[in-house]
């Protein structure tokens, strides 16, 4: 196993450079995945906050008092003098975002069934004002139904009915067509960033091996050795596979350790399976690059261009849904796009039957096709180099 031992020694010699990519992967993945996970929690959650408003009424009545009490559920009332300059300053300095005015004669007109409107002045494009408008419309529309259907209803009766009706809240329950799964946002982003570092590490490691074994003097010495060519090739392939598997396993373990709370599910199994297929594809790309390059400096340059370029346009750093159609079309000619596409689909899985898994297996099959294609090209190039 002399050739295999030599492969391991070469990897150890370049371990410092390889660990830089691993450390960068760990730091970037932890920071970015945590931030993206928090952003997704904010997007998928809803919190209703009270808006600061000025409530100015030119008259006092039971209906208006009941209306103000109900509106207090979604608003904080700020006392502001009823002067034009003071009200304008309050809006400008965002002391309030909504000024609601009840005009004189509103109660009498409303109780008689006339169409009357409240006056409002708001801060433009303030989303919190939408909740105020909805609450006002809800109260007045419900009150108008009672006024038009119950003749002779008093303000006290109207306010009592509205208070009893609006205290009820609808219970909303969201159901999925399958078992509820844990939040996979963290694992999704972690494995997406995984594509850059894994490809970089494998390119650097395998290219270092290829540069040594492709040296003319070493080839001539190996040709005179008592070890058969078949045995030598098998040991070399074994060394590359062990290195690829070790790099893949290390990064997968990092993900499982960091995200251990949400790792005990089938989603994680398919994340790992998809990443393993991608690791084999990375090995074939690295084998091709190793047969093309002739100096260590060239390896670093190609590594950055290939790994970083594919990651940027495929959705590793910017989500695929935010990338333009032409960019994704170009990215689809590379394996990283299909790896990330499968990851995004796995993160959404709640059912694991063939119908839901078929698109994911299709993406993995495309990765396998890329693997075979790159490896075949590498064999052709390697054969030409040997004869030359």
Q: What does the domain layout of the chain look like in residue ranges? A: 2-39+182-387, 51-166
Query: Rounded to an integer, what distance in angstroms lies between the CA atom of residue 108 and that of residue 311?
Result: 67
pLDDT of residue 380: 86
164 contacts 11 by C-beta, under 8 angstroms = no
14 contacts 205 by C-beta, under 8 angstroms = yes
Share of the chain above pLDDT 70, in %: 82
Question: Is the pTM value of this prediction over 0.75?
Answer: no
Q: Which residue has the higher pLDDT, 383 or 134?
A: 134
Q: Which residue has the higher pLDDT, 267 or 386?
A: 267
Does 43 have pLDDT greater than 50? Answer: no
- What is the pLDDT confidence band of residue 178, given thresholds at 50, 70 and 90? very low
203 contacts 306 by C-beta, under 8 angstroms = yes
Tokens of 171: 């219970």
Nearest to 199 by CA among 72, 307, 62, 46: 307
Does 220 have pLDDT greater than 50? Answer: yes
Find where tokens 């290219």 sit. Answer: 207
Q: What is the mean pLDDT of residues 74-101?
A: 89
The CATH class that applies to domain 51-166 reads alpha beta
Neighbours of 140 (CB within 10 A): 17
Does 299 have pLDDT greater than 50? Answer: yes
Query: Rounded to an integer, what distance in angstroms lies between the CA atom of residue 228 and that of residue 222?
Result: 9
11-20, 64-73, 181-190, 315-324: segment of lowest average pLDDT: 181-190
- What is the pLDDT confidence band of residue 221, given thresholds at 50, 70 and 90? low
Nearest to 103 by CA among 120, 87, 91: 120
10 Å CB burial of residue 49 (0-12, 13-18, 19+) is: exposed
Strands 75-77 and 51-57: parallel
Does 114 have pLDDT greater than 90? Answer: no
Share of the chain above pLDDT 90, in %: 17
pLDDT tens for each residue of 334-350: 999 999 999 999 988 88
Q: What is the mean pLDDT of residues 9-35?
A: 71
Q: Which residue has the higher pLDDT, 260 or 253?
A: 253
Does 218 have pLDDT greater than 70? Answer: no
pLDDT of residue 113: 86
pLDDT of residue 277: 93
Give residue 138's Cα distance to chain centre: 36
Does 69 have pLDDT greater than 50? Answer: yes
Mean predicted lDDT score pLDDT of the chain? 81
- What is the pLDDT confidence band of residue 205, given thresholds at 50, 70 and 90? confident
Find where tokens 């691993």 sit. Answer: 22
- What is the pLDDT confidence band of residue 217, given thresholds at 50, 70 and 90? low
Q: What is the mean pLDDT of residues 133-141?
A: 90
Does 366 have pLDDT greater than 90? Answer: yes
Q: Which residue has the higher pLDDT, 175 or 92?
A: 92
pLDDT tens for each residue of 95-104: 888 999 999 9
Find where tokens 């392939």 sit. Answer: 237
240 contacts 7 by C-beta, under 8 angstroms = yes
Q: What is the mean pLDDT of residues 53-81?
A: 90
Q: What is the mean pLDDT of residues 103-126?
A: 86
Does 160 have pLDDT greater than 70? Answer: yes
Q: Which residue has the higher pLDDT, 178 or 317?
A: 317
Q: Which residue has the higher pLDDT, 99 or 4?
A: 99
Tokens of 65: 């008092």
pLDDT of residue 179: 47
Does 264 have pLDDT greater than 80? Answer: no
pLDDT of residue 180: 44
Neighbours of 82 (CB within 10 A): 12
Give residue 356's Cα distance to chain centre: 20
Q: What is the mean pLDDT of residues 60-70?
A: 91
């Amino acid at each position: 196993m002399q050739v295999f031992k030599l492969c391991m020694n070469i990897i150890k010699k370049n371990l410092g450079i390889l660990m830089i990519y691993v450390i960068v992967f760990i730091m970037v993945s932890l920071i970015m995945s945590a931030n993206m996970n928090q952003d997704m929690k904010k997007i998928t959650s809803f919190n209703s906050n009270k808006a600061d408003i000025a409530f100015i009424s030119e008259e006092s009545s039971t209906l208006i008092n009941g209306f103000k009490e109900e509106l207090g559920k979604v608003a904080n009332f700020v006392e502001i003098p009823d002067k034009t300059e003071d009200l304008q300053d309050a809006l400008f300095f965002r002391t309030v975002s909504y000024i609601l005015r009840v005009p004189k004669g509103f109660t009498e007109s409303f109780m008689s069934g006339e169409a009357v409107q409240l006056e409002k002045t708001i801060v433009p494009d303030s989303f919190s004002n939408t909740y105020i408008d909805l609450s006002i419309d809800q109260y007045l529309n419900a009150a108008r139904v009672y006024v038009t259907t119950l003749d002779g209803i008093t303000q006290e009766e109207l306010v009592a009915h509205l208070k009893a009706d609006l205290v009820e809240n609808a219970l909303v329950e969201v159901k999925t067509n399958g078992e509820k799964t844990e939040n996979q946002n963290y694992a999704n982003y972690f494995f997406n960033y995984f594509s850059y570092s894994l490809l970089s590490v494998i390119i650097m490691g395998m290219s270092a091996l290829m540069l040594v074994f492709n040296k003319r003097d070493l080839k001539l010495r190996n040709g005179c050795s008592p070890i058969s060519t078949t045995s030598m090739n098998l040991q070399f392939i074994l060394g590359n596979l062990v290195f690829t598997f070790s790099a893949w396993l290390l990064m997968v373990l990092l993900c499982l350790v960091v995200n251990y709370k949400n790792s005990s599910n089938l989603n994680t199994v398919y994340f790992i399976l998809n990443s393993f297929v991608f690791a084999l594809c990375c090995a074939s790309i690295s084998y091709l690059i190793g047969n093309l390059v002739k100096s260590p400096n060239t390896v670093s340059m190609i590594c950055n261009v290939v790994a970083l370029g594919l990651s940027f346009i495929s959705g590793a750093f910017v989500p695929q849904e935010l990338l333009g159609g032409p960019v994704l079309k170009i990215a689809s000619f590379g394996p990283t796009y299909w790896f990330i596409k499968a990851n995004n689909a796995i993160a959404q899985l709640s059912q694991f039957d063939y119908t839901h898994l078929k698109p994911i297996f299709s993406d993995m099959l495309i990765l396998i096709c890329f693997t075979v294609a790159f490896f075949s090209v590498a064999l052709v190039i390697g054969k030409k180099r040997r004869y030359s």
